[in-house]
Structure 1
Amino acid sequence: MLSPSSSAKRSRSRFAIPAVAYSATPVKLFANISEKHPSATVTQKAPSAIAQRLPDPKSTERTQRFREFELDGRVYVVTGGAQGLGLGLAEAVVEAGGHVYCLDVQGKPNETFLDTQQRLAQCYGATLHYRQVDVQHAEQLETVISAIGEKHSRMDGLIAAAAIQRVEPALTYPPEQMTKMMNVNYGGVYYSAVACARQMIKYKTAGSMLLVGSMSGLNANKGLTSSVYNSSKAAVIQLGRSLAMEWGQIIDGKAIRVNVLSPGNIMTPMVEQNFKDDPSLKETWERANMMGRLSEVREYRGAALFMLSDASSFMTGSNLVIDGGYTAW
C-alpha cells in the first residue's frame, strides 16, 4: 500500500502538464504605430476562464489535465467484478484513483483478479478489494455494502456488471432458469443500486452509477436464441431511467446520477463459451456490425470513467450504446 503522500505525487504526475504562462501587464501592439502615437498602447484583456485555472509560472506546483476524470479517494462497488467486463472496468476506476470493491458469487477471486490487484497496488495509490456476494440476495448486498460505506464514511457509486446467460429456445426454456436469470441480471442490479444509494444518501456523497445493459436489450442478436437474457437487459435499461428520475435531486438537491452502458459483442469468458457451443457464431457477429470485428473489454474503460466521473456531471437517465454500429444499420 502506498502512503498518502506518495499517492498524491503519483496522482499529480499521472495527469501533469507543463505550466503555461500569460502576462497580465500592458503590452504594446504594432510597435511602429505606438512609437508615433504613444496613446496607442493596448492593454491585454483579462485572462480567459481557462487561463485563470493555470498555475502561477513561478510556482513549483503543476496543474492537472482533465481533472474532471479524477476519482481520487472515491469509493465504488463493482458487481460481477471477479473477471470479464466487471474486472476490466474496476481496473480503470482504480487507475483513476478510486477505491474499488469487487463483489462476485465466486468463493474467492481467480488468478486474473489477483494478478490485477497486485499490479495496481504497485502502480497507483488506490485499492482493489474482493467480497463474496450473491447479488440475488438483497440482505447480503445490504450487509456488505453498508460495511464498505461505514469503513470509508462515504460511497460514491456503482458499476453493476453481474450477469449470467443461457442460450436456449423459448419453447424449451426451463422456468426455474428464467427465474434465476431475471433474479441475477435484473434483480441483482436493482438490489445493488438501492444498497449503494442508501449509503450515498447516508454519507451525503452524491455520485454516479453505471448499470451494465446490453445492445441485446434493444434488438435480437443474430444467431443467438436468448430471449430471457435480452429481456433482462431491456429491463436494466428501463431501470436506469426510472432510478435517475427518483434520485435526480435526492441529496440536498443534488443527484445520484444513474446511466446505462450497453456494450456490443465483447470477447469475455461468457462469449467465448458461446463460440465453443456454436463455432459459426463468431463470424455471424463479426459481419453484423459496421466494423467487422468484436470488441475487447479495454474499449469500454474510457466510457465507464466518463460516466462515473464529474466529466459527465449533467448526464443521467441515458443509455450509452457502444456496439460497433450493430444497432445503427
Structure 2
Amino acid sequence: MSTRLFSRAIPSSSRTLLPSSSQAIAASRASSSQRQRILVGAQVRWNSAVAAKARKEKFLPDFSMAGKATMITGGARGLGYEFCRAFVQSGCTSLAIVDLKEEEAEESARTLVTEACLDSDMDPKDYQIIGIGCDVSSELSVQQAYRRTMDTFGRIDSVVASAGIVENYSAFDYPFDRIKRLYDINVHGAFFTAREAARHMIPQGGGSVVLVASMSANIVNIPQPQTPYNSAKAAVKHMASSLAVEWAKKGVRVNCLSPGYMLTKLTKTILAHDQELKKTWESLTPMGRMGDPEDLSGAIVFLASDASRFMTGSEIRVDGGYCCV
C-alpha cells in the first residue's frame, strides 16, 4: 500500500487520531506493516486516555441505583453479598440485607459500609444499610422483614430474591424432609419475597423484582445428581414469567437471573477436595472457566435499575455459554 493510500485510512476530520510528530517520523521510515502498527498503536493510546476520562465523567443514568430503596434476600454471603456490593457500587445507599441469621446480615452490612467509604467522599452516616434476620420459607417471617424495611426506608423499589440452597442426592436416596426444605426455601421463599414486594410496590407506582434461578432451570447438570434443585429453579424461572404477566399493568416488573457455575467461597471449598469435578465443569463450559461472582454484577444492576424498564418476564443467563451446547 502506498503512503498516500495508507494516509487516507486515517480519518482526516479527526485530528485527535493522528500520531505525534515523532511517531509520524518513525512511520515514514518504516515498512508498510511496521508503519501500520505504529499508527494503530497511537490510536489505541489515544482511545485509552479518552476512555479513562470518560469513565470519570459519563455513565448512563438509568443504571444508577442512587435514591432506590432495595432488599436482597440471602445477602449476607455468596452471590447475594455480591449483589449487595454491586448495588452499593452503583450508588445505592438504602439497602436491607436479609438472611437467616441476623447477626451475619448485620456484619455484612457493616462491611459494605466500610468498603463503600474507602477512597470515597461518602461517609458512613450517608448509608442506611441494615441487616434483617428472616427465614424466607416462612411467609410470616418474610412479612416481618418487609415491615422493618418499610419502617426504615418508607418505600421499596428493587428486590432480589437470592436466598437458596442446593444439595446433591440421587433421586432414590433423596430424603423427603430435605426435598421439602429445598422447595420451601428455593420456591416458596421466592414466591413470598416477590408477593410481599409487589404488595408494597403497587401502591407507590411500581418497582423491580429479580428472582435468582439458575442455568439448571434450562439444562440437566452433570455429573452431580440434583433433580429437586433443577426442578425448583425451573419453577422459579416460570414463576417470574407468570408474576410478570400478572403485575405488568400495575407497574411491577419481574425478571429472572440465571447464573452458571460460580466460584463462591463455598464452591471453592467444595472443589478444593474434588479437582476433577472442577475440570469437568470447566470443560463443559464453552468459555472454559467458571464464573467469578462479580461477573453477575452488571446483569443484576441492569435488571434492578431503570435501565431495564421495558423488560419483564425475561431471563438473563450468565453461564459462560453452558446452555448453548
- 1:229 is aligned to 229
Q: 1:96 aligns with which of 86, 90, 96?
A: 90
1:187 deviates by 0.7
1:74 pairs with 2:75: no
In 2, the alpha carbon distance for the partners of 1:272 and 1:232 equals 24
- 1:199 is aligned to 200
TM-score by length of 1: 0.76
Deviation per CA, 1:141-163, whole angstroms, max 9, x where unpaired?
11121231233221102111100
Q: Which runs of 5+ in 2 are unaligned?
A: 1-55
Relative to 1, partners in 2 of residues 1:263 and 1:288: Cα closer, same or farther, differing over 3 Å? same
Equivalences for residues 174-193 of structure 1 within 5 A? 174-193=175-194
Relative to 1, partners in 2 of residues 1:127 and 1:153: Cα closer, same or farther, differing over 3 Å? closer
Relative to 1, partners in 2 of residues 1:292 and 1:113: Cα closer, same or farther, differing over 3 Å? farther
1:277 deviates by 5.9
1:294 pairs with 2:275: no
- 2:173 is aligned to 172
1:312 pairs with 2:313: no
- 1:145 is aligned to 146
In 1, the alpha carbon distance for the partners of 2:57 and 2:265 equals 41
- 1:130 is aligned to 131
What amino acid maps onto 2:287 in structure 1? M
Instruction: Note the aligned Cα RMSD (angstroms).
Output: 1.9
In 2, the alpha carbon distance for the partners of 1:108 and 1:324 equals 35
Aligned residues: 263
TM-score by length of 2: 0.76
In 1, the alpha carbon distance for the partners of 2:66 and 2:102 equals 29
Relative to 1, partners in 2 of residues 1:145 and 1:279: Cα closer, same or farther, differing over 3 Å? same
1:121 deviates by 4.6
- 2:253 is aligned to 257
1:301 deviates by 0.4
1:128 deviates by 2.4
Give 3-state SS (helix, strand or coil) of 1:158's partner.
Answer: strand
What amino acid maps onto 1:280 in structure 2? E
Contact in 2 for aligned 1:101/1:129 (Cα 8 Å): yes
Relative to 1, partners in 2 of residues 1:63 and 1:272: Cα closer, same or farther, differing over 3 Å? closer
Identity of aligned residues (%): 32
In 2, the alpha carbon distance for the partners of 1:121 and 1:148 equals 23
Relative to 1, partners in 2 of residues 1:112 and 1:126: Cα closer, same or farther, differing over 3 Å? closer
Contact in 1 for aligned 2:113/2:127 (Cα 8 Å): no
In 2, the alpha carbon distance for the partners of 1:163 and 1:287 equals 26
Deviation per CA, 1:223-269, whole angstroms, max 9, x where unpaired?
1111111111111000000110111011xxxx211100001100113
Equivalences for residues 53-68 of structure 1 within 5 A? 65-68=59-62
Q: Which runs of 4+ in 1 moved over 6 A?
A: none
Give 3-state SS (helix, strand or coil) of 1:172's partner.
Answer: coil
1:78 deviates by 0.2
In 1, the alpha carbon distance for the partners of 2:318 and 2:134 equals 28
Q: Which runs of 5+ in 1 are unaligned?
A: 1-61
Contact in 1 for aligned 2:109/2:129 (Cα 8 Å): no
In 1, the alpha carbon distance for the partners of 2:173 and 2:272 equals 21
- 1:105 is aligned to 100
1:112 deviates by 5.9
What amino acid maps onto 1:76 in structure 2? T
